[in-house]
Amino acid sequence: MNNDFEFDSLIKKMAAGPQMEHQTAHQPELPSPGVIWWRAQILKKQAEAERIERPVKIMRALSVIISLVVVAALWSSEANRTQGPYTLLDLFPLALLVIVGVGIGIGFIGITLRSTARFKNHG
């Protein structure tokens, strides 16, 4: 398109539709009322599911935050006892237990998020 005249003529040709012999016009088609209704029902159910899941998401995030605060509080309260004559080898079982617990927690969170994402994509 070099100028506005060519653009205007193209718009006019497209608007003229099937009357133009040298151009095949595309006639937009609206979906049937049943399809429109079905899509509206799906969107309504998705919005309802999101509304219902919102408190669960909030409680899930809150439980993670509370758990982290409790772990930090316990860790800091026990910090005085670990400053004694303990060696690094004595703390290994505790560190291993914490690492395994964190790994299991991350795994469960990942599984939950993946299953939620699959449900939303297929639902």
Same domain, 39 and 66: yes
pLDDT in the model for residue 93: 77
> pLDDT for 33-65, tens place per residue?
888 889 899 999 999 988 988 888 888 888 888
* Domain extent at residue 74: 33-79
Longest dimension (CA), the chain: 96
**How far, in Å, CA of 27 to CA of 18, rounded?**
9
pLDDT in the model for residue 85: 61
**How far, in Å, CA of 48 to CA of 56, rounded?**
13
pLDDT in the model for residue 86: 60
**How far, in Å, CA of 64 to CA of 53, rounded?**
17
Same domain, 41 and 74: yes
pLDDT in the model for residue 122: 59
Same domain, 42 and 70: yes
Q: In this structure, is residue 15 part of a structural domain?
A: no
Same domain, 37 and 75: yes
Which has the higher per-residue pLDDT, 83 or 67?
67
Q: Cα separations (Å) of 92 from 44, 75, 89, 95, 105?
A: 53, 15, 5, 5, 20
Number of domains forming the structure of the chain: 2
Average pLDDT over the chain, rounded to an integer? 77
Same domain, 37 and 73: yes
The closest of 73, 76, 67, 77 to 101, measured between CA atoms, is 67
In this prediction the pTM is: 0.40
